[in-house]
Amino acid sequence: MKRWLFIAAVLANLGFAQTEKLKACFIYVGPVGDYGWTNAHDEGRRLAEKALPWLETKFVESVPEAQAGPFIDKFVQEGCKVIFTTSFGFMDGTLEAAKKYPDVIFAHASGFKRAPNMATYMADFYQIYYLNGLVAGALTKSGKIGYVGAFPIPELKRHISAFALGIREVNPQASVNVKWINAWYDPAKASEATEALIAEGNDIFAFTEDSPSVIQTAAKKKLMSFSHYSPMHKFAPDYVVSGQLVHWDKIYIDFLTKVHNGTYTNKNLEKVDYWWLLGEKAVEMGGQAGMPINPKYIPALKAKMVKDRLTGKTVSVYDLVMSRWKAMAQAKPTFDPFTGPIKDRNGVVRVAPGKIMSIGELNSMEWAAPGIVGAWPNEPK
Amino acid sequence: MEEIFSALARAMAFGTPILLAALGEVVVERAGVVNLGVEGMMAVGALAAFAAAQTSGNPFLGVVAGVLAGGIAASAHAFVSVNLRANQFVSGLALTMLGLGLSGLLGNKYVGAPLEHPLAETGFTWAAVVLSIVIWLVLYFTRTGLVVRSVGENPAAADALGLEVYLVRYGATIFGGMMAGLAGAFLSLAYRPSWSDGMTSGLGWIAVALTIFVAWESIRAVFGAFFFGLLYHLAFRLQGRLPSEMLLALPYLLVIVVLTLAALRRRQGNAPEGLGLPYERGTR
Amino acid sequence: MVRLEFDPNPPGNRVWLVMGLAVLAAIALSSLIFWSYGVPPVTAYLTLFKGTLANPAGIAESFRRAIPLLLIGAGLSLAFRSQFFNIGAEGQLLLGASAATGVALFIPLPAELKLVTMFLAGFLAGGAYALIAALLKSRLGVNEILSTLMLNYIAVYIVQFLVNGPWKGRSLMGFAYTEQFPAAATLPVIGGTLIHWPTLLLGVLLALFLQLILNRSTIGYELRVVGENLEAARYAGINIGRTVLMVAMLSGGLAGLAGVGEAAGIHKRLLDPAQISLGYGFTAIIVAWLARGNPALTIFTALLMGLIFAGGDVMKLNLQMPFRVVDVFSGLLLMFLIGSEPLARYRLKFGRRA
């Protein structure tokens, strides 16, 4: 009986799907069960569906990059009105599809190409990396902090530089040592890169890779780490200090609501580019929701006193983190880590005194902040 | 000094799954069967181990499940290549496809699930080293070893002597599968510890390469695995000074070099004479 | 009484019958696996049918997937016919795609010569890569299955090195892709689909041409003799080494052409090796096996496997099954095909032992 119901459901899905609801469809690059990027997007999709009664969603996971087009074709055939593509590699495929289906609305995550019916969106972590940096700088004993990076792209360079700026603010001698694994998901490489960093004397770790491998590898050696993308606190409750969390649902709900009420149409998306940060609550600091810093490490942070370079007062690192966090977590932030004067690691001035980096500059950032050690492809001279 | 020591320790940890699987393949090929399905058996073993450990909460049960799953997967290869006398190389390839496919399909629900009680890497490493010595002893100093080797070298003569060629080849193939399953269990229970599709990431093929690289000698396999593991580790240590792709490709290149050198010396190295050839009673 | 009797030269129709049974067995066992995954086989096959054969977009996808399978399969069927087990098509495809990228991006050529040169370069690169294994085999007796397998991995790292290093595109914000090919270096597609028809046409023509060579030329004759009986070939004075080299060049070259098609027709750039080919080089082994060494028949068998690839996408979309179902089915099919091969050499005999 159950089986027949299932068959009927599948048939209904294939043939006569009803389209009264707004149908939004998602194309993912990885498996929804990964511990990072795709899982976070799927979480956002589910929360949006829960929050918006008029919304109906569908997704397809682990789509190879060249397959974006054919899957978009299938989704359009099934009556999807809004299609989200969630990988940089889908950019050209999405743009082509936007031209092919002018009546369908597209939104592409992390890219830079738009069209009248194609918007872009991104929830960015650079502020949080800066906050994590303050914490890491205060807790390191060896003065060497390890970073396992996926690919040397501006997004990661921005994050690692923000991390380094935070570290150097409380610990001017400390360094961030970077290893690239050239993969978004490769637990073996991630743990081996961590081991290499451990061997080189690093004692705290942050990373970009869609699995908790770095955390687990570090914890085996009783070393601290920062969680990335998903709540990874539970994989090493004693060693995960903090981390970065994303809430894609904030963007999805906003975007879909505006499509539903007619604010966004297939004609006016050319300039719609979401760049959501702490202020919009699209991102959060912590290794799990609601816990910005692991309580286990709060005493150490409260004990360490530094001079706040903005006010000149001597405060604990804990208070410094909280005051910086407050300054950034509002609609109009009163603080930005990338405020000049900032020199790169080769001594070249990259941000003039008093200037704040623009979104465009952040998105094409190639230089490395002082304190970063390691290969840095495309580094400007 | 400490740096060197830590690099060597990492080399051994990464070398462990390759070593375990290669030890199995050494025995299989010594009995005259080639099984290119190591990657697939390893994947099946990794999933079975993880699923069992996850549901029972007992990682040792996971190890048993991984070993069994690898053995079962190998028996398919044994049937096709020993009984049906089909092309062993292609059969192994099919086993790899099937193993990766099955584990990816049935393992879908375990992706991202954490493992509460992972096992220590070092236990597997020492077990692998001990096993390599045991296999060497058995192969060269016991009757069983003699039987396996004669079946691999000259199945017709072995048959004439009254040895059970089919049975020996079956046993060796299944043993090889169990070792590959153990290697998979190491990956999903100790090295990672978690399950994801494609987590064997080519280690099975490196094990096949290692088997040839060490000329079918189990003791040498320890050093070979160590060496391959070191290359992998150095790919990260030497970043910025050397393209990591170069070091990662080196094991495969070395296998071709070793095969060529052996051929240049006008002999198949240490390769068992009857390797890869199906045997049928009554022929030759 | 019924018993089995050995028959070294089975008649054609029995071979095809046994093969058909092998395919059915693979389908049956796959059903069991679908069931254990929680999807009723009827639903699975119905979904598959609706999404592929009963849907124009599905048919287009099957054709698109069949293109590389056809080119590689046609070459491999020739190689298998002469007992040169080229398992390295995946690597040869990657090298072909790399060579095409090199021509497309870095060699200034008049627009009308661009694509022709790319195909030529792809053929030569793929062929030369296969030639390494062929030379080692014919001169030294190195097992080509092992050498071509290893060469696959080396090709993967070559491509990774190129897209992460010297060939990385400046306009892609550091992502590991080359720049997009100029328009003159991309292949036209049939409107609304991804079928890059020039490659498809090339594949069909080459498959027919290879069949012609195999059946009607001296080279083809020599090739068949080498494959069927090495002793006889030696006795007849056939240059075995040369035959092996030629077969390698052809089958590697065709895999290289498939790589050119994927690069210039689908991706329009070079990118991560796992994205360029979705295992076409291995699936093409099944294509060649199903065609029983007849290049012309790969036109149909490639389409069949293309259909299964497209079906994998449909099942992923509508049943949330991982794309790995394709590997499960392919693995089972290959296993049954080679397992049944020797079975065809037996016949059922009724009556008493003679």
Interface of C with B in 164-183 (CB under 8 A): 164-165
Within an 8 Å CB–CB cutoff, is residue B242 touching chain A?
A: no
Q: Using CB atoms, list chains with 3+ pairs below 8 Å to chain B.
A: A, C
Fold match, A20-123+248-280 / A126-245+287-373: yes
User: Which residue's structure tokens are 């190409």?
Assistant: A113
Helices (H), chain A: 2-14, 37-51, 68-77, 91-100, 126-139, 154-170, 187-199, 213-220, 248-260, 298-303, 317-328, 359-363
Average pLDDT, stretch A10-30? 71
Per the CB < 8 Å rule, is B3 touching A199? yes
Q: What is the number of structural domains in chain B? A: 1
Instruction: Tell me the shortest Cα–Cα distance from B120 to chain A, in angstroms.
Output: 9
Mutate to test the interface with B, among A189, A191, A192, A288 (most CBs of B within 10 A): A192
| Assigned domain for B283 exists | no
Cis geometry, peptide bond prior to residue A295 (ω within 30 degrees of 0): no
For domain A126-245+287-373, the CATH superfamily is Response regulator (3.40.50.2300)
**Residues C187 and C261 sit within 8 Å (Cβ to Cβ):** yes
Per the CB < 8 Å rule, is C151 touching B252? yes
Summarize pLDDT for C205-263 with one digit per residue, the tens: 999 999 999 999 998 999 999 888 888 888 888 888 999 999 999 999 999 999 999 99
Confidence class for position B282, pLDDT limits 50, 70, 90: low
Distances (CA, A) of A244 to B158, B187, B263: 65, 27, 56
Per-residue confidence (pLDDT) for residue C308, from 0 to 100: 92
**Residues of chain B neighbouring A234 (CB-CB closer than 8 A):** 114
Confidence class for position B271, pLDDT limits 50, 70, 90: confident
Three-state secondary structure readout of C238-293: CCHHHHHHHHHHHHHHHHHHHHHHHHHHHHCCCCCHHHHCCCHHHHHHHHHHHCCC
Helices (H), C82-135: 89-106, 111-135
Mutate to test the interface with A, among B239, B242, B246, B248 (most CBs of A within 10 A): B239
* Selected residue with higher pLDDT from B281 and A161: A161
Of C43, C175, C322, the CB nearest to A62: C322
Spatial neighbors of A347 by CB under 8 A, at least 6 apart, are: none
Distance (Å, whole) CA B277 – CA B247: 34
Tell me yes or no: is domain C70-313 CATH 1.20.81.
Answer: no
Distance (Å, whole) CA C56 – CA C59: 5
The letter for the amino acid at B115 is: L
Spatial neighbors of C331 by CB under 8 A, at least 6 apart, are: B40, B94, B95, B96, B97, B98, B99, B100, B101, B102
Of A10, A100, A377, the CB nearest to C47: A10
**Interface pTM, i.e. ipTM:** 0.91
> In the β-sheet with A273-276, what is the strand arrangement from edge to edge?
A55-60, A22-27, A82-85, A105-109, A118-123, A273-276
* Selected residue with higher pLDDT from C105 and A70: C105
Per-residue confidence (pLDDT) for residue B264, from 0 to 100: 82
Spatial neighbors of A72 by CB under 8 A, at least 6 apart, are: A27, A83, A85, A93, A94, A97, A101
| Assigned domain for B162 exists | yes
Domain coordinates in residue numbering, chain A:
20-123+248-280, 126-245+287-373
Summarize pLDDT for A54-75 with one digit per residue, the tens: 999 999 988 988 788 889 999 9
Per-residue confidence (pLDDT) for residue C354, from 0 to 100: 42
**Lowest mean pLDDT across A15-29, B101-115, C170-184:** A15-29
- How many other CB atoms are found less than 10 A from the CB of residue A173? 10
Domain coordinates in residue numbering, chain C:
70-313
Per the CB < 8 Å rule, is B233 touching A195? yes
pLDDT > 90? residue C10: no
Instruction: Tell me the shortest Cα–Cα distance from A33 to chain B, in angstroms.
Output: 5
* Selected residue with higher pLDDT from C125 and B265: C125
| Assigned domain for B282 exists | no
Summarize pLDDT for C69-93 with one digit per residue, the tens: 999 999 999 999 998 999 999 999 9
**Residues B215 and B25 sit within 8 Å (Cβ to Cβ):** no
| Assigned domain for B103 exists | yes
Within an 8 Å CB–CB cutoff, is residue B215 touching chain C?
A: no
Summarize pLDDT for B43-68 with one digit per residue, the tens: 999 999 999 999 999 999 999 999 99
Per the CB < 8 Å rule, is A196 touching B14? no
- Sequential DSSP letters for C168-234: --GGGTT-S-PPPPPGGGS----TTS---HHHHHHHHHHHHHHHHHHHHSHHHHHHHHHHH-HHHHH
| Assigned domain for B39 exists | yes
Per-residue confidence (pLDDT) for residue B218, from 0 to 100: 95
CA-based nearest residue in chain A for residue C266: A66
pLDDT > 50? residue C198: yes
Bridge partners of residue A57, in order along the sequence: A24
Tell me yes or no: is domain A20-123+248-280 CATH 3.40.50.2300.
Answer: yes
Average pLDDT, stretch A141-154? 94
Per-residue confidence (pLDDT) for residue C78, from 0 to 100: 94
> In the β-sheet with A224-229, what is the strand arrangement from edge to edge?
A283-285, A240-246, A224-229, A204-207, A144-149, A175-180, A372-373
Q: Average per-residue pLDDT in chain A? A: 91
Q: Average per-residue pLDDT in chain C? A: 91
Within an 8 Å CB–CB cutoff, is residue C268 touching chain A?
A: yes
* Selected residue with higher pLDDT from C172 and C156: C156
- How many other CB atoms are found less than 10 A from the CB of residue A306? 17
Average pLDDT, stretch A106-134? 96
Per-residue confidence (pLDDT) for residue B284, from 0 to 100: 43
Spatial neighbors of B37 by CB under 8 A, at least 6 apart, are: B73, B74, B77, B91, B92, B93, B94, B95, B96, B98, B99, B204
Is the pTM higher than 0.95? The answer reads: no
- Sequential DSSP letters for A44-59: HHHHHHHH-TTEEEEE
Confidence class for position A188, pLDDT limits 50, 70, 90: confident
**Lowest mean pLDDT across B270-274, C316-320, C346-350:** C346-350
Within an 8 Å CB–CB cutoff, is residue A216 touching chain B?
A: yes
**Residues C104 and C185 sit within 8 Å (Cβ to Cβ):** yes
Confidence class for position A18, pLDDT limits 50, 70, 90: very low
**Residues of chain B neighbouring C341 (CB-CB closer than 8 A):** 84, 86-87
Within an 8 Å CB–CB cutoff, is residue A193 touching chain B?
A: yes
Spatial neighbors of C338 by CB under 8 A, at least 6 apart, are: B80, B86, B87, B90, B91, B94, C289
* Structure-token pair, residue C202: 């090339």
